Amino acid sequence: MSKPVVLIAEELSPATVEALGPDFEIRSCHGADRADLLASIVDVDAILVRSATKVDAEALAAAQRLKVIARAGVGLDNVDVKAATQSGVMVVNAPTSNIVSAAELAVALMLAAARHVSPAHAALKNGEWKRSKYTGIELYEKTVGIVGLGRIGVLVAQRLTAFGMKVIAYDPYVQAGRAAQMGVRLVDLDTLLAESDFMSVHLPKTPETLGLIGADQLAAAKPSLVLVNAARGGIVDEAALYDALKTGRIAGAGLDVFASEPCTDSPLFELENVVATPHLGASTDEAQEKAGIAVAKSVRLALSGELVPDAVNVQGGVIAEEVRPGIPLTEKLGRIFTGLAGEIAQQIDVEVRGEITDYDVKVLELAALKGVFNDFVEDQVSYVNAPLLAAERGTAVRLVTDPESPDHRNLITIRGTLASGDQVSVSGTLVGIAQRERIVEVNGFVIDIEPTDHLAFFNYMDRPGMVGTVGRILGDSRVNIAGMQVSRDSKGGSALVALSVDSAIPAEALQEIAEAIDAISARSVDVA
């Protein structure tokens, strides 16, 4: 069997290839060369890029078996995420790889602007010794306003606190209590502008943040303000910033990003009170190595069909730690559901009840679908293509959440309607400190059994001797029973035997049991 092919389209650290390991065929191309890219991407399973390679709809159309696009960095401006999702291709990045590097550069720009490092350096190289002209200011006991208290903003706040600065922040999505724990006072943007001696921007570029810092905001700032933007170009209006710096409405700026990049010709570069760098936030050896290793690990997970925490088009945000233990359980429930149904359901509800509904549980719907389709399609099922497989087969899917769970702290149920109109359901939960997986309901019958690799379910009319018959036939087939549960709706009514066994039950033994107990249904389910 041939190895999956990984295409490296730009120079990455040697540690990236090492992290991929020997399980892949590694190829290279010049991603910025369009013809080379389109020719090289045709038969690869994954592509690793940085910022120069444009993976758009045209490239995706050329990629006949592409499963994952990995961006060794944070930004995704060069990847058409929507087109990738429509094609069933997972997109991953390395969201934490450069946060330390970016935070350190923001602090470096702040210090450089405060002490006029750039013009003083240029003057000295020109043979001029101008100590008095380039008198600067200290950061100590000044107020710094952090715009955006995300991962990088937090790191900047921590570092500037060590300089003896008073830290305030504007971020409408952060709770005041969380900020207070870090020694940061949350304020609105107007207050931040009015109080800040220094200001550092750490926001994503969105329609809401584009032009957030414009002429009106800069006019409300202190004349002594030094503004740093090492986040994304366009958040600070560059024309307004130029006017504010030129006329002395603010004192200085440190810039690493620009509205249009690469940017080599800007009026801002003419000003001595501006220090600028060419988008160097992630340009450290450490950040590049972290990014490469992170996406290599994500590629390994993606190509094995596993959940990728850094996939940007699978789960809408970070998966809460409280939700993660339920992911493998839900995938198993999906496989058990399909084993019980024996066909693809027309309607599937993924019901999540209990405390975990306080968090985003969309990933559990994806895990359920991955399990449902795992044994029914030849292609590998992933968290990206599972919803597409459901849509192709006309299966309607719905995620239902309810904070109330009367019998269990948390309960996950997969319930579906078959073409015949019959319903199938299976429920599971996690118990104890060890979060042990348990199946607690099958088609309305209450049970308590571990979801081992090999399971069997027999539905029959309750009468004496049936359990012994099942055990005898399995014993004759040398299948060892690891666990057994019997449940019934009433004495003499419909009953269910649920079994976990040490090995798969041969088809002949399953048929023999079904005939011996006049089973309404007999299903063997393997989830190994």
* 440 close to 448: Cβ distance less than 8 angstroms: yes
Which one of the listed residues 71, 202, 279, 335 is annotated catalytic? Answer: 279
Residue 73 shares a structural domain with residue 103: no
Is residue 523 flagged as an active site residue? no
Residue 92 shares a structural domain with residue 118: no
Stretch among 53-62, 308-317, 329-338 having the lowest mean pLDDT: 308-317
Residue 308 within a domain: no
Residue 74 within a domain: yes
Which one of the listed residues 18, 261, 392, 450 is annotated catalytic? Answer: 261
pLDDT of residue 1: 61
* 496 close to 486: Cβ distance less than 8 angstroms: yes
Q: What is the pLDDT of residues 37-87, one digit of tens each?
A: 999 999 999 999 988 899 999 999 999 899 999 999 887 889 998 888 878
Residue 195 shares a structural domain with residue 264: yes
Domain total of the chain: 3
Residue 57 shares a structural domain with residue 131: no
Residue 104 shares a structural domain with residue 74: no
Task: Give the residues across from 334 on adjacent strands.
Answer: none
Residue 166 shares a structural domain with residue 50: no
Task: Give the CATH number of the domain where residue 454 resides.
Answer: 3.30.1330.90
Task: Give the CATH number of the domain where residue 25 resides.
Answer: 3.40.50.720
* 314 close to 352: Cβ distance less than 8 angstroms: no
Give, in order, the Cα–Cα distances in Å from 374 to each of 141, 224, 327, 329, 526: 60, 62, 15, 14, 11
Q: What is the pLDDT of residues 343-385, one digit of tens each?
A: 989 999 999 999 999 988 988 999 999 999 988 876 667 777 7
* pTM of this prediction exceeds 0.85: no
Q: Supply the DSSP string of 388-408, one letter for each residue.
A: HHHHHTT-EEEEEEES--SSS
What is the end-to-end Cα distance of the chain in Å, rounded? 21
Residue 387 shares a structural domain with residue 512: yes
Q: What is the pLDDT of residues 446-504, one digit of tens each?
A: 999 999 999 999 999 999 999 999 999 999 999 999 999 999 988 889 999 999 999 99
Residue 317 within a domain: no
Residue 148 shares a structural domain with residue 272: yes
Residue 373 shares a structural domain with residue 260: no
Name the domain boundary from 303, 338, 364.
303
Measured in degrees and rounded to the nearest 5, phi and psi for residue 477 equal -90, 5
Residue 373 shares a structural domain with residue 262: no
Which one of the listed residues 116, 232, 415, 454 is annotated catalytic? Answer: 232
Average pLDDT, integer, range 270-288:
94
Q: Give me the domain span that covers residue 27.
A: 5-96+286-303
* 201 close to 147: Cβ distance less than 8 angstroms: yes
Is residue 232 flagged as an active site residue? yes
Residue 312 within a domain: no
Tell whether the torsion through CA atoms of 314, 318, 322 and 324 is positive or negative: positive
Residue 226 shares a structural domain with residue 339: no
What are the structure tokens assigned to 367, written together? 């895990």
Separation of alpha carbons 132 and 241, rounded Å: 26
34 — pLDDT class (breaks 50, 70, 90): very high
Residue 313 within a domain: no
pLDDT of residue 113: 97
Residue 251 within a domain: yes
Separation of alpha carbons 401 and 403, rounded Å: 7
Name the domain boundary from 268, 303, 338.
303
Residue 292 within a domain: yes
Residue 422 within a domain: yes
Give the amino acid at 99. I
Average pLDDT, integer, range 269-287:
94
235 — pLDDT class (breaks 50, 70, 90): very high
Residue 19: DSSP 8-state = H
Name the domain boundary from 257, 276, 295.
276
For 92-130, letters b (16+ CB in 10 Å) and e give: bbbbebbbbbbbbbbbbbbbbbbbbbbbbeebeeeeeee
391 — pLDDT class (breaks 50, 70, 90): confident
Residue 64 shares a structural domain with residue 201: no
Is residue 261 flagged as an active site residue? yes
